[in-house]
Amino acid sequence: MMDLETAIRRSHEAGKSALYWGCWGAPGHYLHDPQGRTVWEREASAIQLPWKPSHMDGGLLKNGKRADDPDGRVWWTCGGLTFWYAFYWWDRSGDKRGASNSGFYVRGFGWPEAEQAFAFACKSFPQIVARQKFPLTLQEHRP
């Protein structure tokens, strides 16, 4: 088992990076880089993203018992062998169907740096932030 300090060091060494899970130009939820390129599961695994598509596609929200209410509240967690933050929210801006969600996945930050990591993600994906129906508001962390 790797300790937090080692995971953060590995994250810093890998460099700052942000990915977006959700709809990009068409229905369907996928992982994207800031240029809109789809990041497939094999590549996500290679960069040690600790969450699988089933987690990103509503799993983190459902596991946290977050009501399906697209109101701009952004919840978060962190972890991984290379330290990553996950920021996720219910979202109807790209897909009107129920249970639609979005998320930012960010590495290159330490602990506790959730606010800085979230700001980096928002800056990396301004078009995603701009299309939201409500301001994205980072919630206080609770496991």
What is the three-class DSSP state of 107?
strand
- Separation between Cα atoms, residue 9 and residue 4, nearest integer Å: 9
Q: What is the pLDDT of residues 67-115, one digit of tens each?
A: 999 999 999 999 999 999 999 999 999 887 778 999 999 999 999 999 9
The predicted model gives 58-63 an average pLDDT of 95
As given in the structure block, the two tokens for residue 135 are 């301001």
How confident is the model at residue 143, as a pLDDT? 57
Helix (H) or strand (E) holding 139: none
pLDDT tens column, 104-141: 999 999 999 999 999 999 999 999 999 999 999 999 97
Give me the residue spans of the domains in the chain.
Answer: 4-138
pLDDT at 98: 73
Main-chain phi, psi angles of 77, to 5 degrees: -150, 180
Percent of all residues in the chain with a pLDDT value above 70, rounded to a whole number = 97
